[in-house]
């Protein structure tokens, strides 16, 4: 794993290096995460007000289910790490209020 002072940046950089992962395997894994999220129900987690301001309620509900599906299917595979990276992209692209970069 790349050693960078910020753990999130390190994790993102490491996932971006997984370009040699089999595409079919990744698609199958990601579709499994999506199917899990669609087929399970749970109560919406309580999020801080700042998070609630960034996402409308429908998106927050779907994001919460994807987060749950990822956590329930977490492992150390390349497919998992790439799915996690895709989830981060979803978080950023679905925000209704763009937060400044820190």
Does 62 map to a domain?
yes
Whether residue 69 lies inside any domain: the answer is yes
Cβ 52 vs Cβ 60: under 8 Å: yes
Q: Which of 67, 57, 81 is nearest to 34 (CA)?
A: 67
Distance (Å, whole) CA 79 – CA 77: 5
When divided into structural domains, the chain yields a total of 1
- On whether residue 11 sits in a domain, the answer given is no
Instruction: For residue 38, tell me if it sits in a domain.
Output: yes
* Domain membership of residue 87 as a residue range: 21-93
pLDDT value for 102:
39
Does residue 6 sit within a domain? Answer: no
User: Does 26 map to a domain?
Assistant: yes
pLDDT tens for the chain, 102 residues long, are 555 568 899 999 999 999 999 999 999 999 999 999 999 988 898 999 988 888 999 999 999 999 999 999 999 999 999 999 999 999 988 888 665 553
Task: State pTM to two decimals.
Answer: 0.84
Q: What pLDDT is attached to residue 100? A: 56
CB 37 within 8 A of CB 66: yes
Contact at 8 Å (CB) between 10 and 3?
A: yes
**CA gap 87, 57 in Å, rounded:** 17
DSSP class of 75? -
- 3 domain residue, yes or no: no
Residue at 85 is within a domain: yes
pLDDT at position 90, please?
Answer: 93
Q: Of 12, 61, 19, which Cα lies nearest the Cα of 40?
A: 61
pLDDT reported for residue 11: 92
């Amino acid at each position: 794993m790349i050693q960078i002072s910020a753990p999130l940046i390190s994790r993102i950089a490491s996932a971006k290096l997984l370009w040699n992962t089999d595409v079919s395997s990744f698609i199958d894994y990601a579709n499994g995460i999506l199917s899990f999220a669609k087929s399970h129900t749970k109560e919406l987690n309580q999020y801080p007000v700042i998070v609630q301001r960034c996402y409308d309620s429908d998106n927050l509900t779907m994001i919460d289910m994807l987060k749950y599906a990822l956590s329930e299917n977490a492992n150390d595979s390349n497919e998992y790490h790439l799915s996690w990276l895709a989830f981060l992209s979803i978080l950023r692209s679905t925000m209704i209020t763009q937060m400044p970069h820190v």
